[in-house]
Structure 1
Amino acid sequence: MLCHGQGQAEILPLPLSGPAYAIANEAYGAYNRKDYDLAIAKAREALRQRDDAGQLRKLIALAERDKDRRDHPERYPDARPKPGYLDGNRALRAYAEGDYERSAQFARKAISQAPKNADYRMMLIEALQRQQRLEEAEVATHDAVQALGPQPALSRRLQSIHEQMAVVKAAQGYEALARGDNDTAVSYARDVVQRYPQEIAYRRLLVSALIAQQQYAEARSAATEALALKGNDATLLAQRGQMRLRLGDKPGAQQDFAQALAVGNLPLREQASLYAAMGQPRQALERMQQARDAGELQPGDEVQMAYFLSQSGDDHAALAVFKRLDRQNGLKPKEVQDAAYTAMRASEDAQAIAYFDRVLDYQKAGDLKMPDQQVFDTRRAVSDLSREWGVTNTTTYRGASTSNGLSGTPSRSNDSVQNSTEVFWRPAGYRDARFVELYGRVTDTLWNKESGNDKGMDALQGAVGVRIKPFSEYNVMAAFERTFPLAGSKVDGDWLVRLGYGSSIGTDLRVDVPSWWTSQLYAEGGRYLNDKRNYFNSEWQLGRSFRLDRVSPRLVVFPHVVAAVDYDSKMRSEVDALGRTKTSSDNAGGAGVGVGVRYWFRETAHKAPQSYVDFSVQYREKVFGDDSAEGVFARLTYSW
């Protein structure tokens, strides 16, 4: 074998095989029969076919020596076999036959008879190396040095053994990495790197093992040390780039990825991954398609094409790939989860629901591990996607509804109780939160403090309209509706144009923590076209939600602070019962505190709670403008 260090390790002879083995066997047989001429002839013929077989040269030398002793005994008056000769010869023959275990046994016997014989000791070392009994070979080499003293051949052999041991340990490290035993892999990798710090292959193993162990900072440092030895190693650059990305160093990661691609010797599929990490999904897709055409894709690789298509913004094409692979071989649970979100972004609501249902089934069966809140969020996605219609009933005491930002319009009198019931329908479905709703609403003033204002049947009015939410990312909604009197009420009909915006954090139920911060902001502006009346309502709440598990895990209380601003171009000064003029303007702003209680219900195994009852009460102090900004405000909402 070739060394992995600085020098050249000793090369072990290949075992004899084929015709050379048969002729060599005949040579050894002839030698044992003391037919030395035939042994020499056969050995030379075998050596002609395998000139690297040094054991045959030894056999020729032994046969010529023994033939000379036989033919000229007068030259050897004291000739007799040397100690260990017979066992050494047996070890040599067993080695030539490939029986390395017997060769080692005979070599040990020969060494016990002739401890100073270098040939016997070298035969033992070689036989042990052939069996990969490297620790024993190392001990045998040290024993030889102790018996014979330092020798270049023994030093080279010891280096060869150590390199073999490093290769074996590295292979064991990769095997441990493959079976998920990352600690063992790191241990083997550290050992071989310490023995051979200049060998890049071992450093790659160490980096890979540290990554698998999730020691990202240490993996980055190990990759940097390796790159100091070989600056243009594409694999190490890609690995270090991944670690930099995980550790938040995006510019450094981009630099490493670009340099790794510039080296140009990475497989196409790995180039695709780097382009994707650099935010270039189109180039990533091109490389993946090239890898597919070249037959380089491994099982499961083709699903990456769906991810690259999705990253490039083509969710429809990505969903098509997911569907095809699902039909052909079936998607893995994690891939089904990704396909569900892709289908949702592509506005394929039915397909997204089907994938999410499978995800929840996988989670229940234990095939896909998900935190509790992620399971709930998945069920919430199913609820949102499957909703086609709904009903909302809101009763307010002083103030507009904030249930969806476009459900209530201001009344001329603030000190009143109003009720509004609305039914909506989404004809095209959820469409990734870019839906269109058709709605109808009935509104009435149930009570009014001022006797002169309409209430009851006199204040009953209806409305029909259409509203649109054009953006997935932003909760902006526009509406156009027609209001009209009902049951002969005194309300004037009008056309109303409305624009609303909402932003919320933590308004949905949480199942992972007992309490959480909650904020919700809504703002709405509108214009009555006939009446030439403009209005603006806004409210911001900030507080902390607490789940009342002792009562019900679906019951939440929400103490909060509140700020509200209203504007109405038709606000008028009013005179109270004592003849005093109240502070009046066309705007009002107040701030205060409040508490809300919400109970969630109507859920299934695959759907989060779809309905709730919410009651909130607030007290506000006037900050500016009209007196309507201060006092008690209450709201009761039932959402189905």
Structure 2
Amino acid sequence: MGKWGGNYLGQTALRAALTALLLLAVLCSGASAQVAESGPPLEGDAYTAAETAYKAFGQGDYKASAASSAEAVALRPDLLRLHLLLIDSLIAAGDLTRAEQATKTASAAFTGSQELEGRQANIRQRLAQQPASEGYKALERRDAKAAVRAARSAVEYAPDSISYRLLLLSAQLADNDLPAALATATEAIARDRANYVPLVWRGYINQRLGKRADAVSDFNAALAIPGLTATQQKNIRLIAADAALASSDFNAAIELLGSYSRTDPKVITRLADAEGARQQRGTLPNNSNNMPTPVQECSTTVNGVVCELEAPAVLSTLIPGASPEEKAAKEVFEAKERAYRAERDKDYSLAIVEARKAVQLEPEVAASRLLLVNILMAAGRPGEAEAEATKAIEAGHSSAEIHAQRGYARSKLRKFSGAMSDWETALKRGLPPTQAHDVRLALADAALASNDPMRALRALQKLSVSYETAIRKAYALQALGRKEESLAEFRTAERLAKTAMQSDGALRAQINTLVELERKPEARVLFDQAIAQGRLGSIRDADIGYLAVAVGNDEIALARFDRAHARGQLPARATIDAGYTAMRRFENPKAIAYLMEGIDAKAEGRIDIDDQKLFETRRTVSDLARVWGINTSVSYGKVGSAPNPFLTTTVPSSYTSQLGTEFYYRPEGIGYRNGAIFELFGRLFETLYDQSGGPTGARTTQGMVGARWKPFSSANLVFEVDKLFALGDAARDDTLLRALYSYTVGTDLRVLDASWPTWYVYAEVDRFLEKRQLVVITEGRFGRSFRLDPISSKLVFFPHAVLAANYDDSFANPEAYSAGVGGSLRYWFGETKYMAPPSYWELTLQYRWRLAGDQRAQGIFAQTSINY
């Protein structure tokens, strides 16, 4: 195979190594933990610096966090949590050199700290990534000496990483420095005695050095390691057989492989060489140094980079004259090897052709059929893989492995029911432990996707506790409504997570589950702690924004929405939610901009919301954008049915008509704060008609100026102060205090419903201070609104029943109670693309019957108004 270590340095190993580097980067992105410490509390400049650092970390500004935390550490070096914050900030900022120095400084002051030891290990792992990457690249370009130098540097940074030691070993083999490679293998064995790979490598190196006895000892020690899979055992035996053949120890080779099927190409090739040479039918070179080099394949798992050894493909070295059985086996072997090579090179078309040829040559061999199925799956052709697996099963080659593979194919095709049935069959027939573990996890995933959580729990029952099992149990329990149990499993998953992405996902699920359990305060504490510690970093900003909204942290929510928007990463669906978040933060211009962006996204088909939701969004823009308005009304009814701002009191039970006009202004910044409203206004009132002959016109002109405040976003309670001033001799100078409350349902325009229930209740208390007068009014209207689409989609008719009560201590009989019927016509106007119609004209006509009290409760009541 030459000095380059066979296929180990091929593209597969390089891709695995680079993937490992990315995984290590995620593993080491954890943030600071809170530590219980004694000593004086954090206060003053140190407190300010620490608070600034935590906030900057939570917002992703790691350089600023590092600067502020360094200031905090300088002021309070006795607090471990500040050192941890500095270290985490430097790691997140990518300044690993300073992070390592900060860790050394902290370790000198806080000896034995597990938090510092963990961070130091993470930092050194990350520092090892660069030289390791350089080592792989050097091997790829066949610069063995540069690879050795780089790999040594990686090992110095991360001495416990077996994958880096195996990189060094490969570089030394490439440099043909067998003594150094032997020393590296021995050091790796001492670091991880449960790993068979360094032992087999040392056996290979001892074999090449002519130390046959030591090689045999190493191979036997590798085979004795408990927990090896059948595949691992077989490959060790094949490699040991290569060593035996290289030493002409044919009996040892036959003993190693004699229990395996002779239909296996790798087995039959080696057995044929050993048996043929032993029977003097062929010759084999007796050269220990000519042993084929094992193939090392590395892959990234939840436990880091894991390397496996595979026996290389070899061709028979027999002289011509082999038996027909051996010739047939060789032909099959060569077809399979071409298939394997083509698959490794991602030439799937050739791999499939060669695999089909192997099936044709030995249709009775299940392994060839399984090879074809596996290659079809690797080629992304699950439909064909399912068909081939079905053919194999129908041809009598049913096995646990073929059912497992058909299950994976069906899962890819989203045929979850069939996939689960196959996997359950495979488990009943028996699979190697590792494969059974993976099948159970896949079965649980399919059950969850099929909304069958109990089946998922059954699949997971026999698995040991791990992140993979806990996270799936958590989601299954959640689907069953057993949220308290799911919360416990999410916590277990977070504790056992091996990567930041896994930990963040489990933590996020905990927070959401607490919200669903109506334990929002706990969810808020958990979320705020995570942000302060720099966690949840693997989750997108927009999703963090939604999580923050769920727990009620609008400050973080808006910051994350803003950051995602600035980076072009805010989904169109999130723009409306970002707008409402900005509204709750009283940032009205930003809220309007986000909501308008959402309205545009709906118009362009980038988000799918119904027209009513769109209308409500446009209504919110109308409310946010309003700075001023005018209300004008003309009313007709009995005296005393409404507050009387005039100096004179007309004869009870007579009809009057009054004109009222108001201009109001909402000051920017305080005028509209998420539904809480403050307005300044001026009003003019005038009596237009008096049935009893009382004053009308200019004599009754009444002026008012004042302010009103609606302090609550969700409750329509308004407090008002008015200063009345007389503009006519029948008007009054006075001061009025008012409180108003209303609750409404269905009073706004709707765009999806042609009709809808509508009702509202209204209460008002008026207290005049100078001319002592108390007025109380209550009214309720109950009916159904109908949109008059044949005339206009903006015209609404509201027939209703009315109940009213009135108290006015300026009358001889202060109380009046009535019930009646009526109808209103309301026409909405003034809409734009971004604003729902902000203005309306309304006409109301009612007739009320007195229930009790004064006669003013009975009669016609009419009003026309414009709200602009």
Same fold (TM over 0.5): yes
1:39-78 → structure 2 map (5 Å cutoff): 41=248, 54-55=267-268, 56-65=270-279, 67=281
Matching residue of 1:75 = none
Query: Contact 1:396/1:418 (CA < 8 Å) preserved in 2?
Result: yes
Alpha-carbon separation, structure 2, partners of 1:291 and 1:207: 34
2:726 to 482, 485, 490: 485
Question: Aligned Cα RMSD in Å?
Answer: 4.2
Correspondent of 1:274 among 510, 514, 528? 510
Aligned-partner Cα distance in 2 for 1:140–1:202: 22
- Within-5 A mapping of 1:19-38: none
The reply to whether residue 378 of structure 1 matches residue 378 of structure 2 is no
* Partner SS for 2:676: coil
SS in 2 for 1:435: strand
1:628 lines up with 2:856 in the alignment = yes
Shift in alpha-carbon separation, 1:400–1:121, aligned structure 2, 3 A: farther
Kindly report which structure 2 residues correspond to 1:4-153, keeping only aligned pairs within 5 A, or say none.
41=248, 54-55=267-268, 56-65=270-279, 67=281, 84=325, 86-92=327-333, 105=357, 121=365, 131=375
Letter in 2 for 1:54: V
- Output aligned runs, 1:294-305, within 5 Å: 297-298=538-539, 301-305=540-544
Indicate which of 529, 532, 555 corresponds to 1:286: 529
SS at 2:686's partner residue? strand
1:188 lines up with 2:188 in the alignment: no
- 1:507-586 map, 5 Å: 507-572=747-812, 585-586=813-814
Q: Which amino acid aligns with 1:433?
A: G
The 5-angstrom pairing of residues 156-555 of structure 1 reads 158-166=399-407, 168-169=408-409, 173=411, 175=412, 184-185=415-416, 187-189=418-420, 191-193=422-424, 195-196=426-427, 200-210=440-450, 218-223=451-456, 225-226=458-459, 233-244=469-480, 249=481, 252-262=482-492, 264-266=495-497, 267-270=502-505, 271-278=507-514, 279=520, 280-287=523-530, 292=535, 297-298=538-539, 301-398=540-637, 412-413=649-650, 415-427=655-667, 428-451=670-693, 453-486=694-727, 488-555=728-795
Contact 1:408 1:420 in 2 (8 A): no
Contact 2:850 2:858 in 1 (8 A): yes
Deviation of 1:268 (Å) = 2.4
1:637 aligned residue: 865
Q: 1:408 to 1:605 in 2, by over 3 A?
A: farther
Greater radius of gyration (CA): 1
TM-superposed deviation, 1:535: 0.5
Among residues 806, 820, 827, which one is paired with 1:599 in the alignment? 827
Q: 1:468 to 1:130 in 2, by over 3 A?
A: closer
CA contact (8 A) 1:203 1:226 kept: yes
| C-alpha spacing 1:539/1:191, structure 2 compared with 1 (3 Å) | farther
The separation in 2 between residues aligned to 1:354 and 1:406, in whole angstroms, is 41
Report the structure, 1 or 2, having the larger helix content: 2
Contact 1:443 1:460 in 2 (8 A): yes
CA distance in 2, matches of 1:59, 1:409: 120
| Alignment match, 1:577 | none
- What are the superposed Cα offsets for residues 487-537 of structure 1, whole Å, 9 maximum, x if unpaired? x32222110000000110000000001000001111100110011110101
Q: Is the CA contact 1:615–1:635 (under 8 Å) kept in the aligned structure 2?
A: yes
Report the AA paired with residue 58 of structure 1.
Answer: A
Provide the secondary structure at the position in 1 that maps to 2:552.
coil
Residue type of the alignment partner of 1:379: R
Separation (CA, whole Å) in 2 of partners of 1:308 and 1:103 = 50
Partners in 1 of 2:711 and 2:336 — Cα distance?
82
Given residue 627 of structure 2, which amino acid in structure 1 is its aligned partner? E
Counterparts of 1:422 and 1:491, CA distance in 2: 17
Amino acid at match of 1:192: W
Task: Determine helix, strand or coil for the equivalent of 2:692.
Answer: coil
CA apart distance, 1:314 = 3.5
Q: C-alpha displacement at 1:395, in angstroms? A: 1.0
Q: Taking structure 1 as reference, are residues 110 and 54 closer, same or farther at Cα in structure 2, changes over 3 Å only?
A: closer
CA contact (8 A) 2:490 2:509 kept: no
Change (3 A) 1:555 1:108: closer
Aligned counterparts of 1:276 and 1:126: Cα–Cα separation in 2: 43
**Cα offset for 1:228?**
5.8
CA change 1:568–1:125 in 2 (3 A) is closer
Secondary structure, aligned partner of 2:833: coil
Which amino acid in the other structure matches residue 484 of structure 1?
Answer: F
TM-score scaled to structure 2, two decimals? 0.56
The question of whether the paired residues in 2 share the 8 Å contact of 1:189 and 1:209 is answered with no
Give, in whole Å, the separation in 1 of the partners of 2:639 and 2:461. 67
Q: Closer, same or farther in 2 for the Cα pair 1:129/1:589, shift >3 Å?
A: closer
Question: 1:361 is aligned with what amino acid?
Answer: D
Flag structure 1 segments of 5+ consecutive residues without an equivalent: 1-6, 28-38, 70-79, 112-119, 146-153, 177-182, 211-217, 573-584
Please give the per-residue CA displacement for 1:150-203, whole angstroms capped at 9, x wherever unaligned: xxxx9xx9333333433x33xx62x45xxxxxx545653454346548853133
Q: 1:269 to 1:371 in 2, by over 3 A?
A: same
Cα distance between partner residues in 2 of 1:141 and 1:241: 35
1:282/1:308 contact within 8 Å kept: no
Query: Cα 1:128–1:309, aligned 2, differ >3 Å: closer, same or farther?
Result: closer
Aligned-residue offset at 1:464: 0.4
- Distance change >3 Å, CA 90–CA 243, structure 1 → 2: closer
C-alpha distance after superposition, 1:250-302 (max 9, x if no partner): xx324422343145335322212322330313313433665648xx605xx23
CA contact (8 A) 1:269 1:287 kept: no
* Partner Cα separation in structure 2 for residue 477 and residue 331 of structure 1: 38
How many equivalent residue pairs? Answer: 548
Structure 2 CA distance for aligned equivalents of residues 355 and 393 of structure 1: 33
In structure 2, relative to structure 1, the CA distance for the partners of 1:124 and 1:596 (3 Å cut) is closer
Contact 1:446–1:456 (CA under 8 A) maintained in structure 2: yes
Distance 1:82 1:272, change over 3 A: closer
Q: 1:445 deviation in Å?
A: 1.1
TM-score by length of 1: 0.75
Quote how far apart the aligned CAs of 1:66 are: 5.9
SS in 2 for 1:420: strand
2:679 maps to amino acid: E
Please give the alpha-carbon distance, in whole angstroms, between the structure 2 residues aligned to 1:496 and 1:612: 28
What one-letter code is carried by the residue in structure 2 that aligns with 1:586? P
472-481 vs 55-64, greater mean Cα deviation = 55-64
> Shift in Å at residue 226 of structure 1?
4.6
